Amino acid sequence: MKVLALDDQPEVLKQIEKAVAAANGPDGRPYEVTGLADHCEAAKRLDTEHFDIVIVDMVMGPDETEGLAILEKLTHKSPITIVLTAYPSIPNCVASLRAGAWDYLEKMPADGSDPYENLLSSLRRACEFRLAHPEAGRSDPESAFLREHLGDLMNEYGGQLVAILDGKVVDHDDSYGALVDRLKQQYPVARPTVVSIPDPKVEAIG
């Protein structure tokens, strides 16, 4: 399970990476953690690479709003997002939850608890919920993506089944069973939408 950790404090970022990499995901395998300190680089990676979980520092960047910008970028996409902040506030908490964050955690909890244990506990709960409610892992842009790109999809995948996640085709196959088996391995807590693409040759004959 792939995790992106984003924090502009190098030492904190190392601690997050270390704590998460030492734990196992719901599939029983260790998390694969990528740590980034630059929100611009993170935004680029999120455009081209799928992550199951994104851990975001809320207050970062020159405007101190880049963490929220990353959350809002993912509002209608499938990754589980968790905020870990050193500057907790009610307005920031409300903003992050409105942007779709699963949890809002403090780097220095007032109750003296271990912030990284809190993070791992939140990760486990989020994954358990997502697995129990797979519809929560579906992203909104799929229907719009189909409407906008149906012609191209028919030309490239006509007569096949395609899997769409976050507005992108992530896999395709003639066999539903084979496709679903691969998707379960590739996306343990997200559920791509599987769609049968009409064959333009058949449609033309009809």
Mean predicted confidence (pLDDT) in 161-168 = 89
Q: How far apart are CA 203 and CA 82, in angstroms?
A: 45
Tell me: pLDDT of 10 over 50: yes
List the one residue out of 109, 96, 120, 104 whose CA is nearest residue 21. Answer: 120
| Full-model pTM | 0.74
Q: What is the per-residue pLDDT across 78-91, written as a single tens digit (0 to 9) for each?
A: 888 999 998 888 88
More confident residue, 170 or 27: 170
Q: What is the per-residue pLDDT across 69-128, written as a single tens digit (0 to 9) for each?
A: 888 888 778 888 999 998 888 888 888 888 888 899 999 988 899 999 999 999 988 888
In the chain the domains, ranked by start, together with CATH numbers, are 2-132 (3.40.50.2300), 139-205 (no CATH)
Structure letter (DSSP) for residue 60:
-
Residue 106 tokens, joined: 């403090």
Q: How far is CA 74 from CA 52, 101, 195, in A?
A: 11, 9, 23
Asked if residues 5 and 34 have their Cβ atoms less than 8 Å apart, the reply is yes
Asked if residues 135 and 191 have their Cβ atoms less than 8 Å apart, the reply is yes
Asked if residues 197 and 174 have their Cβ atoms less than 8 Å apart, the reply is no
Q: What is the per-residue pLDDT across 171-189, written as a single tens digit (0 to 9) for each?
A: 999 998 899 999 988 888 8
